[in-house]
Structure 1
């Protein structure tokens, strides 16, 4: 009797992160100090160092990724982008001065222009980072039009206020489909299979809680005024809702981001290679609470520093503390401004370190730890394709303060 040979199913690729948290924290701290010394220009090399650290310590099936971008590329891209953005600001300012005489000018055209420009920057920045990422010697690459993506993003965004944000899941799905349809790993075509309806079902309750929490304080008291007996109850309900907003917002946002990350990762495909995420809903809000806690602590230290600085200046100059901040007080005002400026730079420096440690390093580790790759056999014999992209998009992203991996 012939026995049929059954091929066992391929095992999923193990995704692992081998970096040490202390090493990343030292990298972020040292980079922030160098940013301070170089008046912010070290940010391009710091971004490169951070990506190289995260990429090189992230492995799939035993092989780590490689990031080949350079800080010099980002600096040149930023300067080139600045040459594009600066004349726009100047032209808008000059036109605004003339149009102000007729009160016929508003900031909306500038906001709309830079929103579209920002979306263009997001697409081109992702294209740059993708073409600087390689695995097993084969590079990722990306095609497509940044302007076409920006137009799609702008049209979808117009629908957000009209639907009170309910259209957001379909917007995210449509934009991600465009990006992934133009993404490649060697000769493997990328695609995105996540559906907006899936994200909508997972996040609907979060939207309902947010809307109810915002609307209750706005409507409770005006409605209760028609029935004076209900006014005390309306005030209690309104106060409770107002108290819930600052306390509950980090939880709701953390849960939403975890749901969104899981949905996004699980929708990524390259040929027959697919990703799956098992990120729990509560995996991220702890990170946001830690950032809030550090922000409050650093803010308290900064306020204490300002008080001690004012006391020291008042003691040395014989000026009452109340008069130090009086306009025109050169004797005490100039020293306190210098000390306040130094303290403010330290405040920003500390917050940058906190943000990078928790919302870059720790977030990356949690996402990687919850991800599994299937269909690794399809990535065994991949031919190299594609060309390197310029860093102009990344420079635009820096110039417009667009943040992201």
Structure 2
């Protein structure tokens, strides 16, 4: 078993550390890319294992690194299933809207099961101090929690397909006349927009409270109100920023037109860049605040996670990484991933309530007593 600090004071805050290097990861990444191309994507499962093993192995807490233990064949099986489902959806869409809708409804019905299997695969193949993480494969609870969101999304699919089918039939009977849109067709997208923070809260809470380390379950203290507050604030800031930018650009454009009527292209380019920066900030704001919200509300055995990612720094990472990848024709992808992982780890901590070595030892004993659950062969990685 890996060593660590055996005298951790109660309430001591322990940082996560990431020691990966861009040069080391580049050699792994370039081989992964080459072999994935040569094998027409088949090697991508092995590439994912090698990548995760590198990032897990270079991420440590209390001087003990994490481990990724997945079998590439299980990942390949999941990707084959996902590819078959994609082909079914694609070709059904070329056949008829009704067939496409039927496949979409099937995918919606299978979503909770896929989520459970994917989470189970990911966590059961992750470990720290020789103790595996775990996920409760309770399909009944999964379908119970997502019943209402599934009804909303499924209802929208059914209504949309029915409307499209009605429009196609009217066109076939002679007509180019417009088909009246029922009042309830735009209602479903509106309901989904209003329910999105609640649905995301349900998804995050389900994933957290059914996760575990050894025999200890995780707890989640976040609420739906936290998610609504996050999205409302982001929307209002984005709206206000958009209005201010539009007004400033309008005033500037009017002034420039009087001085130099031949500069509309410059004004349009400046406006485009400004709005791209605004939406980049909104993207960074949501990603950062959501990560902080999730981590700061997770507890396992009295030990609490802490995250204080900064929006400005994350936006800089997203923008600079994107530009570096574009100008290097993709060769700086490893560098971008390493610097992002290093920053995330540096802003993540664990508030330990006691000795983590003793905690890991107790969970190892509980896990050994429980044994391995039969049915692990049905865990697959579908990318959820």
Q: 1:126 to 1:354 in 2, by over 3 A?
A: farther
Q: Deviations over 1:121-179 (max 9, x none)?
A: 34432221100011111111112226556546535767994268454443322221112
Q: Residue 279 of structure 1: CA displacement?
A: 1.6
SS in structure 2 opposite 1:12?
Answer: strand
What do residues 187-242 of structure 1 show as CA deviations (whole Å, max 9, x unaligned)?
101121122333444553321133456789999xxxx9xxxxxx969x99x96865
- Alpha-carbon shift at residue 253 of structure 1 (Å): 0.8
Please give the secondary structure, in 2, of the residue aligned with 1:275: strand
CA-to-aligned-CA distance 1:20-69 (integer Å, 9 cap, x gap)? 23212332222112212222222111111111111111111111111111
Q: CA deviation at 1:371?
A: 1.2
Hey, what's the Cα distance between the residues in 2 that align with 1:180 and 1:156? Answer: 23
Show structure 1 runs of 5+ residues with no match.
Answer: 1-6, 97-103, 225-230, 299-349
Residue 251 of structure 1 corresponds to 281
Q: How does 1:6-405 map to 2 (within 5 A)?
A: 9-82=10-83, 86=87, 94=95, 96=96, 105=98, 107-114=100-107, 117=110, 120-143=113-136, 144-145=138-139, 147=143, 151=147, 153-154=149-150, 161-162=189-190, 165=193, 167-212=195-240, 244-294=274-324, 296-297=326-327, 350-351=329-330, 354-355=332-333, 357-358=335-336, 360-374=337-351, 375-377=353-355, 379-380=359-360, 381-382=362-363, 383-384=366-367, 385=370, 387=373, 389-390=376-377, 393-394=380-381, 396-397=382-383
TM-score (norm 2): 0.69
Contact 1:28 1:357 in 2 (8 A): no
| TM-score, with structure 1 as normaliser | 0.66
CA shift at 1:12, angstroms?
A: 2.6
* Greater Cα shift, 62-71 or 83-92: 83-92
SS class of match (2:355): helix
Q: Which blocks of at least 5 consecutive residues in structure 2 are unaligned?
A: 1-7, 157-186, 258-263
**Residue of structure 2 in register with 1:312 after alignment:** none
Q: CA RMSD in A?
A: 4.0
